[in-house]
Amino acid sequence: MEHLNQLFVEAGTLMLAGMIFVFTFLGLMIIFINVVLTRLAVKFPDKVIQTKPARSKQKTTQKIDGISPQMVAAITSAVTQYRKQHNQNLSINKTK
């Protein structure tokens, strides 16, 4: 029994020391990230690769048959919504 008690004390010490160390170590890592890495990121930012605007993009901004792309997008979303509602109604009717 005494041996068991001693083991418990050792386990308790290990737990306390272990948790304190884990928190300290990972806490230091937080400081490292906040102090060193973020400064490095400001000093050496990623190179922004300049890309020419894609042709397809130009096309989408052009009017198709006199209708602007915004109009096309609005009509598409309206049709999708209508179909969704319509389908839902159908499925409700089916379950009924």
Partner 1 sequence: MDSLNKLWLSTGLANFEQGQVIMMIVGCLLLYLAIARKFEPLLLLPMGFGAILTNIPGAGFSEVGGFLYYIYHGGIETGIFPLIIFMGVGAMTDFGALIANPKTLFLGAAAQLGIFATLFGAIALNAVPGIEFTLKDASAIAIIGGADGPTAIFLATKLAPELLGAIAVAAYSYMALVPIIQPPIMRALTTEDERKIEMAQLRPVAKIEKVVFPLGVLLMTIFFLPTATPLVGMFCLGNLMRECGVVDRLSATAQNELINITTIFLGLGVGSKLSADAFLNVETLGILALGAVAFSIGTASGVLMAKGMNKICKEKVNPLIGAAGVSAVPMAARVANKVGLEANPHNFLLMHAMGPNVAGVLGSAVAAGILLALVG
Q: Give contact residues for partner 1 (rule: CB under 8 A).
A: 4, 7-8, 10-12, 14-15, 17-19, 21-23, 25-30, 32-34, 36-38, 40-41, 44-46
Q: How far is the CB of 16 from partner 1 (least distance, A)?
A: 8
| DSSP one-letter code for 51 | -
Q: How far is the CB of 87 from partner 1 (least distance, A)?
A: 19
What sections of 1-68 are H helices per DSSP? 2-32, 38-43, 55-61
d(CA 87, CA 85): 5
Residue 67's DSSP bridge partners are 64
Q: How far is the CB of 84 from partner 1 (least distance, A)?
A: 16
Question: Between residues 10 and 69, which has the closer beta carbon with respect to partner 1?
Answer: 10
